[in-house]
Structure 1
Amino acid sequence: MLQRLVDRHPEVPADQLVAQMVPPPMFDEVSFASYIPDPAEPSQAAAVRTAADFADQVNRIFKGNNKKGLFGKKKTAQGAGLYLDGGFGVGKTHLLASIFHSAPAPKSFGTFGELTNLVGALGFVNAVERLSANSLLCIDEFELDDPGDTTMVSRLLTELSAAGVSIAATSNTLPSQLGEGRFAAQDFLREIKKLGSIFNPVRVDGPDYRHRDLPPAPEPTSSDELVERATATAGATLDNFDDLLKHLSTLHPSKYGALINGISSVYIDGVHTVFDQAVALRIVVLADRLYDAGIPVTVSGAKLDEIFSTEMLDGGYRKKYLRAISRLLALSRFEAAV
């Protein structure tokens, strides 16, 4: 009998949120050596060298902070900061995961959304206490969507850095430009400058590797074919698009990873363009979790690159939506090749 995501109601205890902050499975074995720089993009080779040097710095700081001086524990050295800025699919997450693998435990790796979810689940003080023992905190896809998140993350990173935790992040926007064009409040701008001072920004240029030399996204299948293919795929789920969107609204985004745990492939019937911002942002989180887990996606209805309306793609969350499209297309191509 076919499984449905809408029948799953995962529970994730708050104390497991820190333990599960590790790189996605597809980045379990990556290293600086396995990153292949594009010869046409010299910034990539330079970024690999800088990231490797940063990893060495993380180790030195952590080792130094855990040494006791002649008269007891010496003053804690501030953590280092590295910010990898670049477009979609240029290998920033590969480099971030390589930094993570090179650092001593304890350490944490998560997306910006996962970090804010962690703080929401544990509470600010508890989150600081749990993360302050880290040698490193890696934040993938650093984004600022509202002043509240900005203030909270700024406080969190400032306290962790002072506690000796080094911080590495990736984004598609330089730290000094995060939130640009969306918020004009003076408090917000002040927090942005504070965040920018934590990081040493490094640019990683190049085309999206997920789409290099690849054909356009596969055409959606018919509903009948979708059911047939889902039925023939062990461990797959088959859901109606609207039913799935409704189910996502009942789950905290921190549970989306558990929602798809153990699934081999996801089949979605009746995909159409979404016009509601809240619904679209849930799709973004689900797309991130599917991509992290490397789960193929096949749909009927509209093409995956038509899932967000033109108005949304022209709005303040444009980069989120473009990233989600990029990742969904990669997953749909993967399924087509299987």
Structure 2
Amino acid sequence: MSLLSRYDALAAASLIERDQAQLSALRPLDRLAKELARPAPFRAALGVMSLFRSKAPAKAPRGVYLWGHVGRGKTTLMDLFFESAPTPGKRRVHFHSFMQEVHDRLHRARRESDGGEDPVTRVAKDLVAEAKLLCFDEFSVTDIADAMILARLFSTLFSAGVVVVATSNVEPERLYEGGRNRDLFLPFIDLLLERTEVVHLDARADFRMEKQPVEEVFFKVGDQKSRAAAEALFRSYMGAEAVELHLLVKGRSVRVPQASGRNARFRFSEICGQALGASDYLALCRNFDTMIVEDVPTMNFDRRNEAKRFIILVDVLYDAKARLILSAEADAQDLYAAAKGMEAQEFPRTVSRLIEMRSQQYLAEWQARHR
């Protein structure tokens, strides 16, 4: 079936709501799926032209960059495409996780380097050997270390015929907006515009917001009664056997204050007030299915570092389909307020995901996976 037929089947089964904007955005993905289905040689020599016997590599199909406001169905459409894509070597990954992996690989490449090949090129070669189609969820660039290597990395990937599909909350021209040395990042934007078709998904609403919330996983602790209710639930999950654990992540010890089975409990200051990042949160997700985070405060521009960690934490937990139970000083939409900065741009996605993560549908799916 075409992607459009698959979408229609899901809508007919009431698994999704049919939306005209989503259908329009699905057509470029359907075009790409059909192009990938056509037999064509894939060359992964990455500049070693002797392996091609002087033949130029076949031009790969143009990918898709799907952007729009939070909760409009971008990830759903990309996942529908990924499941149907006929490419044998394909990979779907959250962009935070991908860049963390790239930095790990670069660290190893530099350590093992004999002074010859550029480490970025070496890492790109390895990535090409592993996947010919890369699907990135939540494509965003907020870190200068990421920004400085993306053009070189993706130039090599695209030259080798790798096809990229990405979802994002912003159009390519606004990536790394306001970042340091952004002029050095602009060649990557040009490359992205050349090698992907930019599609704006302008669906009617944030569909996550319409899912019925289940309050017992999100507590606004504005008074003693609500705080006591949250504490009682937290204790019921942790039991009397909760212990302190330490996870080894990249040679560092990440402290888990309370762990019981596949459940972990943190204060906000312990998980977002410390110098932790995506690799630490990914390690937590590998060890725990339920994360309890208590005393999430309201934040402003002065606390943007904590807000950034919270954004990454929610992204990682959401992508892992983990269960998040938290207590907070305010409702999700009121947790961060700032007039400037990348965190202000990204926090609406966090709000949308927090609301979905306490919906009946999300929690029912979590229960079904952990029976």
TM-score normalised according to structure 1 size: 0.76
Give the letter for the 1:132 counterpart.
V
Alpha-carbon distance in structure 1 between the residues aligned to 2:266 and 2:178: 37
- Paired residue for 1:317? 343
1:116 and 2:116 are equivalent in the alignment: no
State the match for 1:14 in structure 2: none
Distance 2:41 2:235 in 1: 56
Moved more, 133-142 or 41-50: 41-50
Classify the secondary structure of the residue corresponding to 1:82: strand
| Bigger Cα Rg | 2
1:201 maps to 198
- Per the alignment, residue 271 of structure 1 pairs with 296
CA distance in 2, matches of 1:286, 1:164: 33
The structural deviation recorded for 1:306 is 5.5
Give the gaps of 5 or more residues in structure 2: 1-5, 45-51, 107-119, 238-260
Q: Residues 219 and 230 of structure 2 are in contact (CA less than 8 Å); yes or no, is this contact kept in structure 1?
A: no
Q: How does 1:241-256 map to 2 (within 5 A)?
A: 241-246=268-273, 249=275, 251-256=276-281
What CA distance in whole angstroms lies between the structure 2 residues aligned with 1:121 and 1:130? 13
Residue from 67, 75, 97 that aligns with 2:56? 75
Asked whether the 8 Å contact 2:139–2:168 carries over to 1, the reply is yes
In structure 2, the CA distance between the partners of 1:152 and 1:107, relative to structure 1 (3 Å rule), is same
CA distance in 2, matches of 1:215, 1:172: 23
Aligned residue for 1:170? 167
Counterparts of 1:196 and 1:147, CA distance in 2: 20
Residues 177-188 of structure 1: pairs in structure 2 closer than 5 A: 177-182=174-179, 185-188=182-185
Residue number in structure 2 paired with 1:326? 352
Give the SS at the match of 2:291: strand
Judged with a 3 Å threshold, the aligned counterparts in structure 2 of structure 1 residues 330 and 185 are, in CA distance, closer, same or farther, namely closer
The residue aligned with 1:97 is 79
Match runs of 1:210-229 below 5 Å: 210-212=208-210, 214=212, 219-220=219-220, 222-229=226-233
- Cα distance in structure 1, aligned partners of 2:170 and 2:272: 29
Shift of the alpha carbon at 1:74?
4.9
| Alpha-carbon displacement from aligned partner over 1:205-230 (angstroms, at most 9, x marks no partner) | 21111112646975525343223223
Q: 1:258 aligns with which of 283, 296, 305?
A: 283
Counterpart residue type for residue 41 of structure 2: G
For 1:48, the equivalent position in structure 2 comes to 26
Match of 2:243 in 1: none
CA distance in 2, matches of 1:302, 1:154: 41
In structure 2, what is the Cα distance between the partners aligned to 1:255 and 1:106?
28
Moved more, 145-154 or 193-202: 145-154
8 Å CA contact retained: 1:226, 1:267: no
CA contact (8 A) 1:273 1:307 kept: yes
Compare relative contact order (CA 8 Å, sep 6+) and give the higher one, 1 or 2: 1
SS in 1 for 2:139: coil
What's the CA shift string for 1:228-255, capped at 9, x where partnerless? 2233347433322222334x52x44223
Identity across matched positions, percent: 26
Alpha carbon RMSD of aligned pairs, Å?
Answer: 3.2
Query: Does 2:322 match 1:295?
Result: yes
1:58 alignment partner, one of 36, 40, 55: 36
Specify whether residues 90 and 306 from structure 1 end up closer, same or farther in structure 2 by C-alpha distance, changes over 3 A only.
closer
Tell me, in whole angstroms, the C-alpha distance in 1 between the residues paired with 2:38 and 2:146: 31
Deviation at 1:143, TM superposition (A): 1.3
**How does 1:113-152 map onto structure 2 within 5 Å?**
113-123=96-106, 124-133=120-129, 134-146=131-143, 148-152=145-149
Question: How far does the alpha carbon of each residue in 1:147-198 deviate from its partner, in whole angstroms, 9 at most, with x for none?
Answer: 5533411222221111011111111222233234556753333432232222
- After superposition, the C-alpha distances for 1:270-289 in whole angstroms (9 at most, x for unaligned) are 22123422222111111011
SS at match of 1:132: helix
* Worse-matched range after superposition: 208-217 or 97-106: 208-217
Q: 1:56 to 1:49 in 2, by over 3 A?
A: same
Could you say which residue in structure 2 is the equivalent of 1:231?
A: 235
Change (3 A) 1:136 1:34: farther
C-alpha distance after superposition, 1:57-86 (max 9, x if no partner): 23436x43269xxx9795322332211111
Q: Distance in 1 between matches of 2:182 and 2:26?
A: 36
